[in-house]
Amino acid sequence: MTSAPSECQETLPEGPWEHVGMADDTTAVVWDEALLGYDMGDHPMNPVRVELTMALARDLGVLDRPGVRLITPQPATETQLTRVHRADYLDAVRQAPIDPFFLGWGLNTPDNPVFDGMHDSSARICGASIAAVEAVWHGSARRAVNVAGGLHHAMPARAAGFCVYNDPAVAIAWLLDHGAQRVAYLDVDVHHGDGVQAIFYDDPRVLTVSLHETPLALFPGTGFCDETGGPGAEGTAVNVPLPPGTGDAGWLKAYHAVVPSVVRAFAPEIIVSQCGADAHRLDPLADLTLSVDCQRAAYLAMRELADELCDGRWVALGGGGYALVEVVPRAWSHLLAVATGEPLDPATRTPGSWRKLAAGRRPGVPVPETMGDGPPSGEIPQWSPGLASDPVDRAVLATRLAVFPLHGLDPYDPRD
Residues ≥6 apart with Cβ < 8 Å to 171: 126, 129, 130, 132, 133, 149, 272, 315, 317
Burial 109-128 (b: 16+ CB within 10 A, else e): eebbbbbeebbebbbbbbbb
CA distance 223 to 99: 35
Strands (E), 244-374: 270-274, 314-317
Contact 131, 6 (CB under 8 A): yes
User: 87 — phi, psi (to 5°)?
Assistant: -60, -35
Q: Is 231 left (phi over 0), alpha (psi -120 to 50) or beta?
A: beta
233 pairs with which residues across the strands? none
User: Nearest CA to 195 among 117, 126, 277?
Assistant: 126
Out of 153, 178, 191, 212, which one is annotated catalytic? 153
User: Nearest CA to 52 among 336, 283, 303?
Assistant: 336
Cis status of the peptide bond prior to 220, with omega within 30 of 0: yes
213 pairs with which residues across the strands? 242
Strands (E), 85-205: 143-146, 183-187
Q: What's the half-sphere exposure (Cβ side, CA atoms, 13 Å) at 248?
A: 15
CA distance 130 to 390: 41
Residue 152 among the catalytic residues = no
Active site residues: 153
